Amino acid sequence: MRTTNTVLIAAAAGAALVLTGCGTDSAGTSSTSGASTSVVESQARFNDADVAFLEGMYPHHAQAVEMADLVAGRTDNADVVALAAAIKAAQQPEMDRMTTWLQQWGKPVPTPDMSGMYGMSHGDGMMSADQMDALTALSGTEFDRQWLTMMIEHHEGAIDMANTELADGENPEAKQMATDIVTAQQKEIADMQAALG
């Protein structure tokens, strides 16, 4: 019986460490179970602003990934190619996490289908279907300049959305994602502005 309890306690402690990213302390199993409970509670705690953030940011990220995919075959500019790769590498995993959270909260999950996403709202940085079609038709330096200009505007919209989440949201993980988006996309805007010259 003691062996079973020891195994269970060790498993719970390991799970708490993985979930919280914290070290152990000398308070014993009561603090470990408390840490596990607080993680579950933080995942379950959300408000309408958190839901709106994820529902809006998912298609926003999907369009950024679509724009990143356009780079292949349209430019040899190393800066643009690297920026597109970084954007896709960061935003696709964030989209996956958004889907998971919305499922956990019992909310509808957006799809990557692009058809209904253009012109979500004014000031969100989303490109219209006409803008995307025009970008698709470009190549070389014309493509580079237009892609960088559009992606800067797109990122500025995402930063505004993330700042709204930071002001109004409740879920700690969603707010951390918003913080990460602001940090990463401000840096990418600076890189894109430098690439524009």
Res. 31: pLDDT tops 60? no
pLDDT one-digit tens code per residue, 45-78: 999 999 999 999 999 999 999 999 999 999 999 9
Distance CA 125, CA 90 (A): 18
User: DSSP secondary-structure letter at 127?
Assistant: P
The percentage of the chain sitting over the pLDDT mark of 70, rounded to a whole number, equals 72
Token duo for residue 134: 């025009």
Helical ranges in 21-70 per DSSP H: 29-44, 48-69
Q: Which residue has the tokens 């460490």?
A: 17
Mean pLDDT lowest among 21-25, 123-127, 142-146, 185-189: 21-25
**Domains of the chain, residue spans:** 2-42, 45-196
Q: Which amino acid is residue 160, in one-letter code?
A: D
Confidence of residue 44 (pLDDT cuts 50, 70, 90): confident
Res. 95: pLDDT tops 90? yes
- Residue 147: closest CA among 131, 160, 161: 131
Indicate the pTM of the whole model: 0.76
Distances (CA, A) of 83 to 47, 73, 181: 33, 15, 15
What pLDDT is stored for residue 4 in this prediction? 45
Q: Rounded to an integer, what is the distance from CA 182 to the centroid of its chain?
A: 10
What pLDDT is stored for residue 111 in this prediction? 79
What pLDDT is stored for residue 110 in this prediction? 86
Q: Is the dihedral of CA 61, 66, 69, 71 positive or negative?
A: negative
Res. 42: pLDDT tops 90? no
What pLDDT is stored for residue 41 in this prediction? 59
C-alpha neighbours within 13 Å on the C-beta side of residue 144 = 17
- Architecture in CATH for domain 45-196: Up-down Bundle (1.20)
Confidence of residue 121 (pLDDT cuts 50, 70, 90): low
Output the average pLDDT for the chain: 82
What pLDDT is stored for residue 40 in this prediction? 58
Distance CA 191, CA 195 (A): 6
pLDDT one-digit tens code per residue, 127-163: 999 999 999 999 999 999 999 999 999 999 999 999 9
Q: Is 140 left (phi over 0), alpha (psi -120 to 50) or beta?
A: left
